[in-house]
Amino acid sequence: MITDLDRRAFIAALGGAAAVSLMSDEAKADALESHLIAQASAPEAPAAGKFPTMAEIEADVPNHPTRKGTGNLFAARAGNVPRLERLPERPTLADYFKLRFTATSNHCLQSANRAMKNGMSEEIILACLLHDTVQELIKVDHGWWGAQMYEPYVSPKVTFAIRNHQALRFYEDLDHGYRYPDLYRRMFGSDYKPEPYIEQTYQTVRKHKWYLEPRMVTVNDLYAFEKGVNPTLEQFTDIIGRNFRQPKEGLGFDGSPTAHMWRSIAMPDHPL
């Protein structure tokens, strides 16, 4: 349920009532969705710039019906989960974007759009386009899950970027234009230190010849809904065509090692 307070915060985030009145219904729906994602994945906004501590975030765990690492498709952000439209028999990446990546697509399209405007390579643009889509299935360790899901269909450079954007986001690199985001102070706690496996990944990736691939995903990643920017998947059709191996049997039905992950997104209502 959207409370009055939610509504006011939402309108303020979009630049006020006048700005909202200029938006199309579609843009408003997208904006509301992004706003709800941000709210669902972040604890209550701290007063006057104060961020919660790790202990406060941990104490808040039993106040929610689902865990924070649950995929978007598996828990309603408000009320109950909606019925899902069936995918075509041989679903393509575009079908998943339109019918299943509904909570993450706008954020990913905005990141890819920014990467394109910044003149990034096609592989980095594709990595930005795909980087958070696996959060429909699972959020915890999403860099690793996402890279694995896409491994049979994209180049190793693209999976390297998707896998490691997660660890790199915890480490500032001002020389390349990446600042640690306040969003993480809210989500993980003001006193959060990445676990040893994250630190180890960072140290390895920092020295890797492909370091800039995941770093550029973090640089072009966005932390909040960008007002009035609504890129479409069609902008990226050619890049997808050249860099994504669409299986003719459809994603989920090609017998690849990660087909079950696609099927779980296609049919999340199967009880087993």
The footprint of Fe ion (CB under 5 A) covers 132, 221
CB of 80 to Fe ion, least distance (A): 27
CB of 18 to Fe ion, least distance (A): 29
Which amino acid is located at 191 in the chain?
D
- For residue 108, the Cα-to-chain-centroid distance in whole angstroms is 6
CB of 142 to Fe ion, least distance (A): 6
195, with CB counted inside 10 A (0-12, 13-18, 19+), is exposed
Our CB check for Fe ion shows the closer of 143 and 250 to be 143
Q: CA torsion angle for 91, 231, 70, 49 (degrees, to 10)?
A: 180
- For residue 86, the Cα-to-chain-centroid distance in whole angstroms is 23
CB of 223 to Fe ion, least distance (A): 8
Tokens encoding 256:
């690849």
CB of 198 to Fe ion, least distance (A): 13
Our CB check for Fe ion shows the closer of 33 and 221 to be 221
DSSP letter for 82, please. Answer: P
Our CB check for Fe ion shows the closer of 214 and 252 to be 214
Our CB check for Fe ion shows the closer of 91 and 146 to be 146
Question: Which of 199, 195, 196, 194 shows the shortest CA–CA distance to 184?
Answer: 194
Our CB check for Fe ion shows the closer of 167 and 240 to be 167
Our CB check for Fe ion shows the closer of 112 and 259 to be 112
CB of 28 to Fe ion, least distance (A): 22
122, with CB counted inside 10 A (0-12, 13-18, 19+), is middle
CA–CA gap between residue 68 and residue 97 (Å, rounded)? 23
Q: Answer for the pair 71, 135: CB distance below 8 angstroms, yes or no.
A: yes
CB of 230 to Fe ion, least distance (A): 17
Going by C-beta distance under 8 Å and a sequence separation of 6 or more, which residues neighbour residue 239? 122, 125, 126, 129
Our CB check for Fe ion shows the closer of 96 and 250 to be 96
